[in-house]
Amino acid sequence: MIVFPNAKINFGLNIISKRADGFHNIESLFVPIKINDGLEFIPTKTKTAFTSSGLPIPGNHSDNLVLKAFELLQSPYNLPNLNIHLHKLIPMGAGLGGGSADAAFFITAINNYFNLNITNFEMELLAAKIGSDCAFFIQNKAAIAVGRGEILQPFSIDLSKYKICIVHPGIHVNTAWAYSAITPNSPNIPLHEMVQSPIENWKNNLINDFEKPVFSAHPIIKNIKDYFYENGAIYSSMSGSGSAVYGIFNDEIPNLTFNKNYSVFSSTF
């Protein structure tokens, strides 16, 4: 079976408070975007194997979130061993949720392939055990995320007329460091109110709290955001804790020039 996990971006990201469990309470609007990995699995009579292609995946394959998802499912649902292959196109460490998407799409694909009849709610609970934003990709629709990012409220937003350009400069931002550099605080305007206003109003009001420390440590990332605005973007932001930055345009994306070593994606929503 083959599925194509997609990335997501954050519209706004507020770090509200630190929790007793060491995580943080956040609020953000998660929106799926059309950058996709490819994920395939087939049952095997030998031991489970995981291979990958495309972008190199750092670390041990045994730490991959897809395998962690398989470990959650195999014993309770008496699954056979699998040959799993992941073709990686979504940049890692970019704030685009690629690893979480891979795990969530794997859960839904396993559910469908083996007719397990797991409900969406149950799959979201499983996904939340793997990563804070993993549950979002089960239903894979725009949603306001609160708590650690696993509590989701569906949100209706029409982005069909807009174009998006996403740039990843190849910088890895350590998420734990990014959180440590922020003093949690509630925004003056709640995020769910801000995102109901026209996108043209977002520029100075819809904030990603991670931008301040990340831009200070990596001015190149701020330069990308500034460059989008200089070239007509109606809204631009870093996604997640970075380092990918996106620009949203009303019309066609202009002819933009970036460092040849950057990963650049252009798409509709």
Contact assessment for residue 41 and residue 106, using Cβ atoms and an 8 Å cutoff? yes
Which of 8, 88, 163, 225 is catalytic? The answer is 8
With the C-alpha atoms ordered 94, 99, 100, 105, is the resulting torsion angle positive or negative? positive
Q: Please confirm, yes or no, whether 133 is among the known catalytic residues.
A: yes
Which of 37, 88, 102, 133 is catalytic? The answer is 133
Q: Could you give the strand order of the β-sheet that contains 263-268, starting from the edge strand earlier in sequence?
A: 235-238, 245-249, 163-168, 263-268
Contact assessment for residue 12 and residue 105, using Cβ atoms and an 8 Å cutoff? no
Cβ-proximal residues to 201 (8 Å cutoff; 6+ apart), any chain? none
Contact assessment for residue 266 and residue 173, using Cβ atoms and an 8 Å cutoff? no
What phi, psi does 261 have (nearest 5°)? -90, -5
Neighbours of 140 (CB within 10 A): 16
Catalytic positions, written as ranges: 8, 133
